[in-house]
Amino acid sequence: MTETTTPVVEVSVGALAPAEVVAVTMRGAQIRLSDESMTAMTESRAVIEALVDDDKPHYGVSTGFGALATKHIPVDLRSQLQRSLIRSHAASSGAEVDREIVRGLMLLRLSTLATGRTGVRPSTAEAYAGILNAGITPVVREYGSLGCSGDLAPLSHCALALMGEGEVRNNDGVLMDAADALSAAGLEPVELREKEGLALINGTDGMLGMLIMASADLHRLLKIADLSAAMTVEGLLGTDAVFAEDLQALRPHPGQKTSAANIRAVLAGSPLINEQRPEGFTRVQDAYSVRCAPQVHGAVRATLAHVESVAGYELASAVDNPVITLDGRIESNGNFHGAPVGYALDFLAIAVADLASMSERRTDRFLDPARNHGLNAFLADDPGVDSGHMIAQYTQAGIVSELKRLAVPASVDSIPSSAMQEDHVSMGWSAGLKLRRAIDGLTRVLAVEILTSARALDMRDGGVEQAKTSKATTAARQMIRAVVAGPDTDRYLAPEIEAVRVLVDSGALLHAVDEVLDTPLQ
């Protein structure tokens, strides 16, 4: 038997890579703080220690917070100041957010701590990493962050667990008191010192984590969208001529080029497509939802590229207030404002909604005998007796309508807080939560299109055993038929939609297609 080891991600002064964030948040990779980061934290902590007896006020060290920043805090109350900050700010409400969101929140806060610009003790950062490595997940609820001054409430719940207080879930998902979970994992609660409470909560880490995870999902879903569009072209007996490389080069957007190349790769050698060209004839043009797939899918790719550039800048950032500069000054700043990430999250939600909308329109064409080129109404076995995929399209339509509502930007809203000290906020946390819901909806919409196109293709050629589709589409159909039976009288449809959703979400469907192609889809 081959032994497997848990991967380790090193958190250092340099930026984490998005793939490393995904490895920790979604795959349970362990974390190690680098020697460089330990040195940087030791040096910056010395700056904070030197300020303890300074008569000059220093925000978060010897003062209150927010609108209470003018209040001087005596030395003997400064540990209480940090504890009180965390307890009062751990005020989230609503449903629990997903484990991976909390792990992303914690990892990215730890990444900023590791820069040495926040002034925390190295031992505090090591204890924080220990919670992540033990698989302990603080309970964080969906409401509480305004996306400015950091994701305050969510990060406060994480800091509360570090103090041995509040609720957490252990590595098995069991709800426990934090003190008990730390004890079971061999970890000790941390008594926070000057500046540490503030440093643990003053960042855009939750919204950034959601942006990185959504981007990773969308890379896969864009390839699935190209696959589903190509399968629809075959199922509708469309033309592949519009995807020609020289035509796409006339409008040289990189994403469009990639999408068209993927569609050509999937359609290559398709007998169903070739049969539509007797004596060189090709249907002049298909509907926009089919013909313009590379243009729309490519625009989503362009949006994703922009969003990932924003994430890259954020990953290279030390977001805290106040911050310790490279030359040892402690300075207030506004780098905690979530606008850059909030805008990116909202932009991606718009693109996701449009990608799903186009998929739904392609699905709808299969169901209308006036537009599906010879197939039964609704792809029903016996139309009238059977309804086929009529209501599967309703499900898609309901999701697409929801995605349009989710595309309304959260970042255009702002509600002043903290007695008007924090008078403009980003709502980036809310933008992240709605983007995650949008990504889930897109996954389901694409699954319905793929399930529908597979049924249509079975009705064209009699089933995958005598397939007249391209090798890529045939591989996709074989994978689908392993979990969903072919066309017949109406069956309980919800489990079939879910089975294909799992194939899409897990990457199994994409893997099956990539295995038969000379070059994997890009």
What tens-digit pLDDT sequence spans the chain (522 residues)? 344 567 899 888 777 999 999 999 999 999 999 999 999 999 999 999 888 777 777 777 777 766 666 777 777 787 888 899 999 999 999 999 999 999 999 999 999 999 999 999 999 999 999 999 999 999 999 999 998 878 999 999 999 999 999 999 999 999 999 999 999 999 999 999 999 999 999 989 999 999 999 999 999 999 999 999 999 999 999 999 999 999 999 999 999 999 999 999 999 999 999 887 765 555 678 999 999 999 999 999 999 999 999 999 999 999 998 899 999 998 989 999 999 999 999 999 999 999 999 999 999 999 999 999 999 999 999 999 999 999 999 999 999 999 999 999 999 998 888 777 788 888 999 999 999 999 999 999 999 999 999 999 999 999 999 999 999 999 999 999 999 999 999 999 999 999 999 999 999 999 999 999 999 999
In CATH, the architecture of 211-516 is Up-down Bundle (1.20)
pTM passes above 0.85: yes
- What does the pLDDT read at residue 3? 44
Q: Which residues form the catalytic set?
A: 59
CB of 365 within 8 A of CB of 386?
no
Tell me whether strands 141-143 and 93-96 are parallel, antiparallel or unpaired. Answer: antiparallel
Give the Å distances, CA to CA, from 122 to 60, 76, 117, 471, 519: 18, 22, 12, 55, 46
pLDDT the model gives residue 1: 38
The residues, ordered by sequence, that sit 6+ positions from 287 with a Cβ below 8 Å of its Cβ are 361, 365, 371
- Residue 142, SS3? strand
| pLDDT score at 2 | 40
The pLDDT of residue 518: 96
Q: How far is CA 6 from CA 119, 136, 362, 473, in A?
A: 30, 16, 42, 35
User: Are the CB atoms for 262 and 248 separated by under 8 Å?
Assistant: no
Question: Any idea which residue has 């169903």 for tokens?
Answer: 272
Percent helix, strand and coil across the chain, each to the nearest 5: 60, 5, 35
Going through 93-174 in order, the beta strands assigned E by DSSP cover: 93-96, 137-138, 141-143, 167-169
> What's the pLDDT at 67?
60
323 phi-psi bin (left φ>0, alpha ψ -120 to 50, beta other): beta
3-state secondary structure 347-404: HHHHHHHHHHHHHHHHHHHHHCCCCCCCCCHHHCCCECCECCCHHHHHHHHHHHHHHH
Q: Give the number of C-alpha atoms closer than 13 A to the C-alpha of residue 18, restricted to the C-beta side.
A: 19
Give the DSSP letter of residue 48.
H
Between CA 334 and CA 357 the distance in angstroms is: 38
Tally of residues, the chain: 522
Q: DSSP of 163-209, one letter per residue? A: TT-SEEE-TT--EEEHHHHHHHTT-------TTHHHHHH-S-HHHHH
Homologous superfamily of 8-203: Fumarase/aspartase (N-terminal domain) (1.10.275.10)
Query: Across-strand partners of 96?
Result: 141
Best CA proximity match to 457, nearest among 379, 400, 517: 379
Q: Which two tokens stand for residue 187?
A: 């970890």
Domain positions in the chain are: 8-203, 211-516
The overall longest dimension of the chain from CA atoms, in Å, is 91
Find, among 211, 203, 152, the residue nearest to 21 by Cα.
Answer: 211
Q: What are phi and psi of 422, to 5 degrees?
A: -105, 75
Note every long-range contact of 240-247, with CB atoms under 8 Å and residues 24 or more positions apart, other chains counting.
Answer: 240/264, 240/267, 240/270, 240/273, 241/282, 242/285, 242/286, 242/291, 243/267, 243/294
